[in-house]
């Protein structure tokens, strides 16, 4: 407890330029103001925040008036929910009127009612560890629901009955999984029971809000905890059904309990690798790891000798991934990137012990495009064998592939691989104008470039003329 008090005191001193002056402004205006939620929780965990959330007795228009002359910028996009935002130097601040909100059983949008007390506002929050507050400027600590104890025990509980909380806002079930993944906390059995009983309630929540929670979960330090909770409660069946489907399928190598367990291991190994190669955390690489085998259930075939195959699960999985990401309203860029990685995740296994030609290596780089580093991460993470000799062999083989890519990249500028003649040169040599034939000639020269490496301009011209002559 002494450490918690010290962490909080240090954090409050750090953010004093905001909380002291802002607190005085609201107090002088006859209103209450309290730092609340994540910033208070994380202060106790020794984590710093530059995004500060406050709750107040002031109504939005009163909050906006008190921020003028103090904040560098003010915005009111959350006014309908009682929230006014502002920026002060490096600080991002959101101030929300005391409130209570609930969902109509058939509505995706909450009905917002403003409240009058801090205790009432804290009672409507999702979990006790987020239902703590510090009144400012006096710095009095408020914890009516035992959040400090739950924080010490690393457990997620709701301030009231979880059934009431999830009925008010079903997205809180997703948030339970997300906070488990972010904080490494366990979830109270009563909360798990309510999530299981009420999982279908998530269907009234918009795809965009579900997507945002899923991204935060996957980018958290312990995503396995959150994903397991989604699967065990049945929520995953509704928001990411491809994941629980994997638990029904035996891995063809029989080295894992099932493809589901293998997938979670690949995700964790990708996280370990991303620190060396990618920005951290990297959602695209992590989601590709999570989705890389989703095509297996649909492609499983049992052979007469008792073995099982999953032919073309990479292609099928890429299509399934694209469909799911579109349903969750992901951006086209993220959808394209993840789908490409899923489709390419098996490509390396054709490399054998290094038999690929330079042409095959060039095609590997070209097909991966700007996802090459992520493909390196996914391919390496996909090795979950417990056979150390085999694991070492696969690692050395991929090391060899990356070394060959590096050599070719240095020699041939692989990242900007193009034919040895551009479109204007093709048209001039063939005496034609823009059209389909130019694209076909370009593709032919690119194939030659991939197969044989760089050509001189004269050799490329001869090859182009030979191609054109064959077409006549």
Per-residue pLDDT of 162-174, as tens digits, reads: 999 999 899 999 9
What is 294-319 written as a DSSP string? TTHHHH-EE-TTS-EE-TTHHHHHHH
Q: What pLDDT, in 10s, does the model give residues 125-153?
A: 999 999 999 999 999 999 999 999 999 99
Fold match, 154-240 / 258-416: no
Banded model confidence at residue 160, pLDDT cuts 50, 70, 90: very high
pLDDT band at residue 257 using 50, 70 and 90 as cut-offs:
very low
CATH number of 2-145: 3.30.460.10
Higher per-residue confidence, 304 vs 51? 51
Specify the range with the lowest mean pLDDT, choosing from 251-265, 266-280, 366-380, 395-409.
251-265
CA distances from 318 to 216, 314, 323 (A): 22, 6, 9
| Residue of higher predicted confidence among 87 and 350 | 87
pLDDT tens readout for residues 325-341: 999 999 999 999 999 99
pLDDT beyond 80 at 306: no
Cα separation, 403 vs 143, whole angstroms? 57
Topology of domain 154-240, per CATH? Hydrophobic Seed Protein (1.10.110)
The residues that bridge with 186 in the sheet, in sequence order, are: 155
Separation of alpha carbons 457 and 305, rounded Å: 55
Residues in the chain: 472
**5 pLDDT above the threshold of 90:** no
Contact indicator for 329, 209 with CB cutoff of 8 Å = no
464 pLDDT higher than 70: yes
* b/e sequence 216-247, b meaning 16+ C-beta within 10 Å: bbbbbebbbbbbbbbbebbbbbebbebbbbbe
pLDDT in tens, 357-410: 888 888 898 899 899 999 999 999 999 887 888 888 889 999 999 999 888 877
Got the DSSP string for 384-432? --S-HHHHHHHHHHHHHHHHHHHHHHHHH-GGG---SS-HHHHHHHHT-
Q: What average pLDDT score do residues 264-284 get?
A: 92
pLDDT at residue number 105: 60
**Higher-pLDDT residue of 263, 247:** 263
393 compared with 112, residue with greater pLDDT: 393
- pLDDT at site 86: 95
d(CA 143, CA 41): 11
301 - beta bridge partners? 309
Q: Domain spans of the chain?
A: 2-145, 154-240, 258-416, 423-470
User: From CA 197, how far away is CA 216, in angstroms rounded?
Assistant: 24
pLDDT at res. 204: 93
What top-level class would CATH report for the domain 258-416?
mainly alpha
The confidence score (pLDDT) of residue 236 equals: 98
Band (pLDDT 50/70/90 cuts) for residue 255 is very low
For the segment 233-262, the average pLDDT, to the nearest whole number, is: 79
């Amino acid at each position: 407890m002494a450490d918690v008090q010290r962490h909080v005191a240090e954090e409050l001193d750090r953010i004093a330029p905001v909380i002291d002056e802002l607190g005085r402004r609201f107090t002088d205006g006859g209103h209450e103001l309290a730092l609340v939620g994540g910033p208070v929780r994380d202060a106790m965990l020794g984590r710093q925040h530059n995004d500060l959330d406050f709750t107040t007795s002031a109504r939005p228009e009163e909050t906006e008036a008190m921020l003028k002359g103090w904040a560098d910028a003010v915005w009111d996009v959350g006014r309908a929910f009682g929230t006014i935002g502002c920026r002060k130097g490096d600080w991002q601040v959101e101030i929300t009127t005391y409130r209570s909100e609930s969902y109509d059983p058939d509505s995706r949008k909450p009905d917002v009612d403003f409240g009058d007390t801090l205790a009432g506002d804290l009672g409507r929050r999702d979990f006790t560890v987020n239902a703590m507050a510090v009144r400012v400027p006096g710095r009095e600590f408020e914890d009516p629901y035992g959040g400090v104890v739950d924080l010490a025990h690393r457990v997620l509980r709701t301030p009231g009955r979880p059934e009431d909380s999830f009925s008010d806002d079903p997205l809180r079930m997703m948030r339970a999984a997300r906070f488990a993944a972010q904080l490494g906390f366990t979830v109270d059995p009563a909360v798990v029971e309510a999530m299981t009983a009420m999982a279908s309630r998530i269907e009234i929540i918009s795809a965009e809000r579900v997507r945002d929670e899923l991204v935060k979960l996957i980018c958290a330090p312990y995503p396995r905890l959150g994903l397991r909770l989604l699967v065990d409660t049945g929520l995953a069946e509704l928001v990411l059904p491809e994941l629980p489907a994997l638990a029904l399928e035996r891995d063809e190598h029989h080295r894992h309990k099932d493809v589901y367990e293998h997938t979670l291991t690949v995700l964790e190994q990708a996280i370990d690798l991303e620190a060396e190669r990618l920005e951290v955390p990297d959602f695209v690489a992590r989601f590709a790891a999570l989705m890389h085998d989703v095509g297996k259930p649909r492609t499983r075939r049992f052979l007469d000798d008792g073995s099982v195959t999953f032919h073309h699960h990479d292609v099928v999985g890429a299509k399934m991934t694209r469909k799911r990401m579109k349903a969750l309203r992901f951006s086209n860029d993220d959808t394209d990137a993840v789908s490409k990685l899923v489709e390419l995740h098996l490509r390396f296994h054709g490399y054998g012990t290094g038999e690929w030609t330079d042409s095959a290596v060039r095609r590997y780089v070209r097909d991966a495009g700007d996802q090459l580093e992520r493909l390196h991460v996914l391919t390496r993470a996909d090795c979950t064998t417990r056979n150390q000799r085999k694991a070492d062999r696969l690692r050395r083989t991929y090391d060899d592939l990356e070394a060959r890519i590096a050599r070719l990249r240095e020699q041939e500028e692989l990242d900007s691989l193009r034919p040895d003649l551009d479109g204007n040169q093709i048209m001039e040599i063939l005496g034609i104008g823009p059209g389909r034939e130019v694209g076909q000639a370009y593709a032919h020269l690119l194939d030659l470039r991939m197969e044989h490496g760089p050509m001189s301009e004269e050799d490329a011209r001869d090859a182009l003329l030979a191609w054109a002559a064959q077409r006549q």
